[in-house]
Amino acid sequence: MYLIHLSVVQMSKFHTLTYKYISLKVGELVTSKNAPNDNVLLLHDVSLFYIQGKAAEVQVCFRRFKHNVRGMPKTNSFSHGTAMESAVVAMVEYLKVRPFSVPTEPLFCSVDATPLHRPVFDRILHKCLASCGLDSSRYKGHSFRIGAATYAAERGLSDSQIRSMGRWKSNAFQKYIRSHLN
């Protein structure tokens, strides 16, 4: 079981919202038993900022990522925006039910605070897609990066903004943008 308080579909909503706004790579979300987990986001990589007692912005610090030759962290921020669903609210709700652990533990975890592993993520993704009547064979971990780049382009973000959001060094992000996904 993933998180006790959240259904598979609710968790999918949270992941989708956060992926859309911060363009996560699966390796920044899940751990692997057979690979270093240097890129996984940790609990202390996320900061909430409040205005008049209400969460208004989330900042995510990426300590390590592809093309980061200088080793300098990159911080991406997102606010409520104009979307009907708010990634800020989703993050606040997730943090409320997320099991307590030390700040240096992975941000995304199971109910017992153990890191979220790739096979678990894949099973959750498959269940979410199936519950929506979608063919899970058409979706992979990079589908979220594709969705984030496409969403950003549809919202009119500039190439440099999309590059920054996704931590792309070149215009490689352009191959992720899809027009009118079917």
In a domain, 2, yes or no: no
SS (HEC) of 12-41: HHHHHHHHHHHCCCHHHHCECCCCCCCCCC
Identify the band that residue 50 occupies on the pLDDT scale cut at 50, 70 and 90.
very high
Residue range 72-115, pLDDT digits in tens: 888 888 877 666 567 788 888 888 888 877 888 888 887 788 88
Asked whether the whole model's pTM tops 0.95, one would answer no
Tally of domains in the chain: 1
Residue ranges making up the domain that contains 124: 8-176
Query: Would you call 93 exposed, middle or buried from its count of C-beta atoms within 10 A (0-12, 13-18, 19+)?
Result: middle
Q: Is 81 left (phi over 0), alpha (psi -120 to 50) or beta?
A: left
Average pLDDT over residues 143-168: 82
Let me know if residue 72 belongs to a domain: yes
Mean pLDDT of the chain: 78
pLDDT band with cut points at 50, 70 and 90 for residue 47: very high
Residue 182 lies in a domain: no
Whether 83 is covered by a domain: the verdict is yes
Greater model confidence, 146 or 37: 146
pLDDT grade, residue 150 (50/70/90)?
Answer: confident
Task: Output the pLDDT for position 5.
Answer: 37
Check pLDDT > 70 for residue 4: no
Residue 160, domain CATH: 1.10.443.10
Please, which pLDDT band fits residue 3 given cuts at 50, 70 and 90?
very low
